[in-house]
């Protein structure tokens, strides 16, 4: 049976990494509530996400986060049509908390359960930001675990044109931040430091930029930064955190923008979107916006709060499968390596 009779309210749940999140979204595009309980202060002490601690904190937070999402949306469980949850990829213990909670709710409330791929969620953040945004489009997905160029033909059909061969862009930001003493979370701190630095101070490599195809590689760039830091320290030179941050960020942004535009040309796309935590990076957003403007390509990027992990994007992504009458079985399992 297709679910077409009236508007739909989907409760989204997200717990794949270090944010416990729940949201209520109407008809896939209108956010009625979006509650995010961040674990950043806890993990900052350790310089990165500690999976065991993340799982435990999700367990402590999840009931309260869901109730707050219902309260903020001014609805009750009875009003909800379906429960959507991130089933993967992510940290297995963290994912299991959300998946178990969603299964319990779906079973007891007798509502359909919808398992959602985390990256489809990130991509769907664009549908919320621009309610007129629809496939087909090219999307640069850049998060802590992924760097993929995805062609979205329609709501069901995702083709990966290129991906990173090693580190993800967000991972490179996090590792470089640690190396220059900025700590976790790396991306926003590198961006902030870079504002006071010179992007041309150090000439870091632009990996894969001259190569055919749409794959990325960031581990060589990260090593180049580490080598530079070692050399400078050995020579007793003072290191400018700001210049390293700005030069590294400029290299990442140039590679991401160039590869995306190369793919856009080859596939003759008319619309480009961006998704994932690194899409919050201002120079990247502006770089891609400008490149699209020059080529008269429509550009969409999620508003900042929807770039990093949240549950509104999960509820939005689930809407299209819900509408087709699909649902997941109640023995749905967390899948840390789920592919698109
Ligand atoms: O999508 P996300 O919240 O979680 C994953 O699914 O991985 O992405 C987190 C990543 C982290 O690596 C973080 O450093 C990066 O996104 N990030 C940024 C910025 N904000 C978050 N990277 C660069 N600039 C930012 N402003
Ligand atoms: Zn994410």
Q: What does the pLDDT look like over 77-111, one tens digit per residue?
A: 999 999 999 999 999 999 999 999 999 999 999 99
Q: What is the pLDDT of residues 123-165, one digit of tens each?
A: 999 999 999 999 999 999 999 999 999 999 999 999 999 999 9
Task: Provide Rg for the chain, Cα atoms.
Answer: 20
Can you tell me the mean pLDDT for 41-61?
94
pLDDT level of residue 59 (50, 70, 90 thresholds): very high
Kindly report the number of other CB atoms within 10 A of residue 223's CB atom.
Answer: 13
Q: How confident is the model at residue 184 (pLDDT cuts 50, 70, 90)?
A: confident
Edge-to-edge strands, sheet with 157-163: 157-163, 147-154, 137-142, 271-275, 298-300
Average pLDDT over residues 306-321: 97
pLDDT at 333 over 80: yes
- Expressed in angstroms and rounded, the spacing between residue 170 Cα and the centre of ligand 1 is 5
279 Cβ closer than 6 Å to some ligand 1 atom: no
Is 2 a residue whose pLDDT tops 90? no
Q: Atom 13 (ligand 1): residue with closest C-alpha?
A: 187
Determine if ligand 1 sits within 6 Å of the CB of residue 15.
no
Q: Of 42-51, 222-231, 295-304, where does mean pLDDT reach its minimum?
A: 42-51
Report the percentage of the chain scoring pLDDT > 70.
99
Cα(77) to ligand 1 centroid in Å equals 32
pLDDT at 6 over 80: no
Q: Is 276 in the pocket of ligand 1 (CB under 6 A)?
A: yes
pLDDT at residue 1 in the model: 43
197 lines ligand 1 (CB under 6 A): no
Counting Cα atoms < 13 Å in the Cβ hemisphere of 158 gives 19
| pLDDT of residue 5 exceeding 80 | no
CA 71 to ligand 2 center in whole angstroms:
25
Indicate whether residue 278 lines ligand 1 (CB < 6 A). Answer: yes
pLDDT at 47: 86
- Distance (Å) from CA 242 to ligand 2 centroid: 26
CATH of 9-126+307-323, one of 2.40.110.10, 3.40.1160.10, 3.20.20.140, 3.30.420.40: 3.30.420.40
* Ligand 1 and 173: CB distance under 6 A: yes
How far apart are the C-alpha atoms of 218 and 163, rounded to whole Å? 11
In the chain, DSSP assigns E strands to 9-14, 19-26, 30-38, 82-88, 113-117, 137-142, 147-154, 157-163, 271-275, 298-300
Q: What is the pLDDT of residue 82?
A: 98
- Confirm or reject: Cβ of 187 under 6 Å from ligand 1: yes
β-strands 82-88, 147-154: how paired?
A: unpaired
CA torsion sign for 179, 181, 184, 185 is: negative
- Matching CATH topology for 9-126+307-323 and 135-304? yes
Indicate the CATH number of 135-304 among 3.40.50.720, 3.40.50.300, 3.30.420.40, 3.40.50.150.
Answer: 3.30.420.40
Q: How far is the CA of 200 from the centre of ligand 2 (A)?
A: 30
Crossing angle between the packed helical segments 169-179 and 241-266, to the nearest 10 degrees: 170
| pTM for this predicted structure | 0.96
Name the band, by pLDDT with cuts 50, 70 and 90, for residue 185. Answer: confident
Domain parsing of the chain, residue ranges: 9-126+307-323, 135-304
pLDDT tens-digit profile of 210-262?
A: 888 999 999 999 999 999 999 999 999 999 999 999 999 999 999 999 999 99
Query: What is the whole-number distance in angstroms between the Cα of residue 1 and the centre of ligand 1?
Result: 39
């Amino acid at each position: 049976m297709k679910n077409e009779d009236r508007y739909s309210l989907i409760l989204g749940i997200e717990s794949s990494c270090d944010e416990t999140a729940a949201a209520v979204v109407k008809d896939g595009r209108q956010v009625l509530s979006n509650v995010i309980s961040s674990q950043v202060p806890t993990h900052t002490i350790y310089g990165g996400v500690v999976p065991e601690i993340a799982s435990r904190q999700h367990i402590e937070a999840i009931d309260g986060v869901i109730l707050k999402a219902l309260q903020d949306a001014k609805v009750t469980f009875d009003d909800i049509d379906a429960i959507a949850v991130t089933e993967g990829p992510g940290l297995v213990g963290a994912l299991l908390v959300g998946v178990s909670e969603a299964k319990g709710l779906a079973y007891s409330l007798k509502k359909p359960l919808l398992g959602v791929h985390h990256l489809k969620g990130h991509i769907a953040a664009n549908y919320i930001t621009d309610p007129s945004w629809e496939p087909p489009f090219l999307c640069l997905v850049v998060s802590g675990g992924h760097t993929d160029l995805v062609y979205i033909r329609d709501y069901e059909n995702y083709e990966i044109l290129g991906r990173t061969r090693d580190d993800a862009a967000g991972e490179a930001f996090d590792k470089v931040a640690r190396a220059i003493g900025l700590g976790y979370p790396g991306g926003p701190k590198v961006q902030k430091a870079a504002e006071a630095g010179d992007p041309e101070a150090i000439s870091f490599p632009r990996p894969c930029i001259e190569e055919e195809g749409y794959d990325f590689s960031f581990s060589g760039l990260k090593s180049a930064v580490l080598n530079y830091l070692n050399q400078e320290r050995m020579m007793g030179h003072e290191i400018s955190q700001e210049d390293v941050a700005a030069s590294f960020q400029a290299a990442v942004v140039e590679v991401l923008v160039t590869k995306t535009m190369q793919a856009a040309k080859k596939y003759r796309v008319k619309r480009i979107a961006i998704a994932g935590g690194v899409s919050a990076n201002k120079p990247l957003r502006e770089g891609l916006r400008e490149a699209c403007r020059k080529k008269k390509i429509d550009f969409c990027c999620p508003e900042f709060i929807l770039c990093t992990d949240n549950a509104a994007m999960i509820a939005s992504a689930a809407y299209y499968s819900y509408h087709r009458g699909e649902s997941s079985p109640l023995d749905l399992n967390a899948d840390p390596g789920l592919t698109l």
